Amino acid sequence: MSKSHEAASRARDKPAALGPDVDTGTYSRQTKSWSPCPISNLPGDVLNRAFEVGVVPEEKSRSATYFQVDHSVISKAVRSVFEDKVEIMSTKEALNKYSWFKDYWWRLISVDTDKYTALAELRWDQGYFVRILEDQKVTIPVQSCLFVSTENLNQNVHNVIIAEPGSEAQLITGCAVHPNVHRGLHVGVSEFYVKEDASLTFTMTHGWAQGFETRPRSAALIEDNAAFVSNYMCFKPVKSLQMYPVAYCKGENSRVSFNSLLYGSGTSYIDIGSKVVLQNKGSRGEVVARAIATDNAQICARGFLQGEHGGSKAHLECRGLLLSDKAMIYAVPELVAKAQGADLSHEAAVGKIAEEQIQYLMARGFSEEEAEALIVRGFMDVSIFGLPKELENEIQKIVDITAERAL
């Protein structure tokens, strides 16, 4: 038995530090096998749900595609013009193919962090490996989808993304469930390595269900003059969601930006944070969160900045919009300076839609419902993501679709 497996076995019942505890034993591990195929050949109901989280069947608009349904890898394709720039495959295949890959496996995240990381080791269901080769500029996004098609299923994936020195890429990931799936548990471990002079933008959209529970566990290591941007969106109801990704700005002039757009509805419990650790001269960090809560939803928006070098700087911003007297938004900013000269700051504000804004729009012909919808869409401005215009337009379509259904 490997050391990681032994450590996971000891932590199989270890609760997470945050979020409600989940009885992992109540979820099924039984599912049918899906055969590999081009994703355009998947059933329409699967493709529609994937499209809602940013994954498109027209692979010509993506440089590479990874698609997993339940425990089966459906697609791991790279377009021919990008074959010398991008690698994409399951992490299980990568471990078998490359002896060096083990050095990236459970390096940034401890396998015994909690019962969910332990589950990802003990009941591992593949996940994706993406590698952007050295000095390659991938101008068209890479995409991946982790899809659950079986009711009450437990899916545990471990993803590794490597941006080699001097590379640039955009990665779009969508997580979604079949329309007939109402309950399940998804555990996603993701380790990001952004090497010197590289730039990686990671944009994730979650589209779960009201009875679904999810526990992502993510960490990034950023080297000299490298930049990592992590964008996250969640608009659909979920039973409980808890994650607290961390980025280590290890290199000189390393930079990280975490951006989140959250819409909590129904009885959703959402506990999301971002942690930035500044470890070197010139390292920079930013955390920006926009949270909307309605119905009986509860949102905890956390942010943690830690300055370990005198020449580091970071800022944390959280804004919340409350649309119901029964909903709750809890903003938790934390700043820790461990070196003289570390510059850390934060601002947070939670409130309701101003009545004068609604009256202004109604005076110009909008109904009260239409006025509220316009204000909410404006609050969920995707420009905070800092994406290229073409990709920003794609993400805006996702916002419009999901916001329209939510409102």
Going residue by residue through the chain (407 aa), what tens digit of pLDDT does each one get?
Answer: 588 999 999 999 999 999 999 999 999 999 999 999 999 999 999 999 999 898 999 878 899 999 999 999 999 999 999 999 999 999 999 999 999 999 999 999 999 999 999 999 999 999 999 999 999 999 999 999 999 999 999 999 999 999 999 999 999 999 999 999 999 999 999 999 999 999 999 999 999 999 999 999 999 999 999 999 999 999 899 999 999 999 999 999 999 999 999 999 999 999 999 999 999 999 999 999 999 999 999 999 999 999 999 999 999 999 999 988 999 999 999 999 999 999 999 998 887 777 777 776 778 777 777 777 677 777 777 777 777 676 677 777 777 765 565 45
Residue 351: what pLDDT? 76
Residue 193: what pLDDT? 98
CB neighbour class for 98 (10 Å; exposed up to 12, middle 13-18, buried from 19): middle
Tell if the pTM clears 0.85, that is, is over it.
Answer: yes
Report the half-sphere exposure of 325 (CA within 13 A, side-chain side): 0
Residue 356: what pLDDT? 75
Residue 316: what pLDDT? 95
Residue 401: what pLDDT? 65
Measured CA distances, 107 to 4, 6, 102 (Å): 11, 16, 9
Residue partners of 64: CB distance under 8 A and separation at least 6:
77, 78, 79, 82, 86, 88, 130, 142, 143
Distance from C-alpha of 347 to C-alpha of 184, rounded to nearest angstrom: 36
Measured CA distances, 225 to 166, 361, 373 (Å): 9, 46, 41
Distance from C-alpha of 289 to C-alpha of 381, rounded to nearest angstrom: 11
Residues pairing with 53 in the sheet: none
Measured CA distances, 320 to 168, 273, 373 (Å): 33, 14, 16
Distance from C-alpha of 199 to C-alpha of 258, rounded to nearest angstrom: 14
CB 156 within 8 A of CB 119: yes
Distance from C-alpha of 374 to C-alpha of 350, rounded to nearest angstrom: 19
